[in-house]
Structure 1
Amino acid sequence: MENRGEAVRGIVGCLAAIVGGVVGLLAWAPYGRHGIFGGFEGESEWNVLWLGLPVMVLGGITAGIALFALLRGKWRSALGAAALLAGLAALGLAFDVLAGPPLCGPGC
């Protein structure tokens, strides 16, 4: 019977990671639409795709795993996932991965 419980926990953990990845993808979508398909004068910002998409999806997966670990009471695993999430956030901020193309300012 314990093997069945482990299997259920494993499936729920995988579902948490999948849902987190989908949420990360959905959160990235508005930035991707504006960054890839161009803004001012059709200029595209490919960093939104090459850096922003992986950071957002991996961040969503990590957040799902951290939440699942917290709900199970696995504090060390949750802290490790939270540290990874903080590292991904720092990477995203350092490289400005969700910056879209430059917009025309007031002097245009």
Structure 2
Amino acid sequence: MEQREESTPAAGLLIAALAAATAFGVWLHGARPGLYGAFEGERDWSLLYADLPCMLIGLPALTLAVWTLTRGALRRRLGRGARGLASGTVAVVVLLALAWACLAWLGARVDWVSPQ
């Protein structure tokens, strides 16, 4: 019977917190022109009530899902240290890719609402 690793909940919490902070930073950077009213003072409040919650919930959820799937796939193939390093690296790469996709989405969305 395999013992449960004690560092798994702490690592998951750290990944979720890092993903939520990244999501908020990306949203703040990408949504700023739409919130301040770039075109004739028009503000897009849906950036606040639709896009922000989607990013604050979606990025951590997807990053944790990929991290969990990677740990499960590598459970019998690698040792504890190598498995943690590999799953952490995959989680960071996925988080960066999702942050880039969210920034591209916000850029296109803000340009559509308030072209300059």
* Shorter-chain TM band: 0.5 to 0.7
Alignment check: 8 A CA contact 1:38 1:45 kept: yes
The residue aligned with 1:41 is: 40
**Of 87, 103, 108, which residue of structure 1 is paired with 2:115?**
103
**Aligned length, in residue pairs:** 81
Letter in 2 for 1:53: L
**In the alignment, is the contact (CA less than 8 A) between 1:22 and 1:60 conserved in 2?**
no
What is the aligned partner in structure 2 of residue 62 from structure 1? 61
* Secondary structure, aligned partner of 1:45: coil
Q: Quote the offset at 1:62 in angstroms.
A: 1.0
Unaligned runs of 5+ in 1: 75-96
User: Sequence identity of aligned pairs in percent?
Assistant: 28
Counterpart code for 1:29: L
2:22 corresponding residue in structure 1:
23
Separation of aligned partners in 2, 1:26 and 1:60: 12
The one-character-per-residue Cα deviations of 1:3-46 (angstroms, maximum 9, x if unpaired) are: 6x3x3110101111111112222221223201111111111000
Q: Distance in 1 between matches of 2:50 and 2:30?
A: 12
SS of the equivalent of 1:41 reads coil
The answer to whether the 8 Å contact 1:31/1:48 transfers is: no
TM-score normalized by structure 2? Answer: 0.58
Separation in 1 of the partners of 2:8 and 2:47? 35
Whole-angstrom CA distance in 2 between matches of 1:40 and 1:30: 18
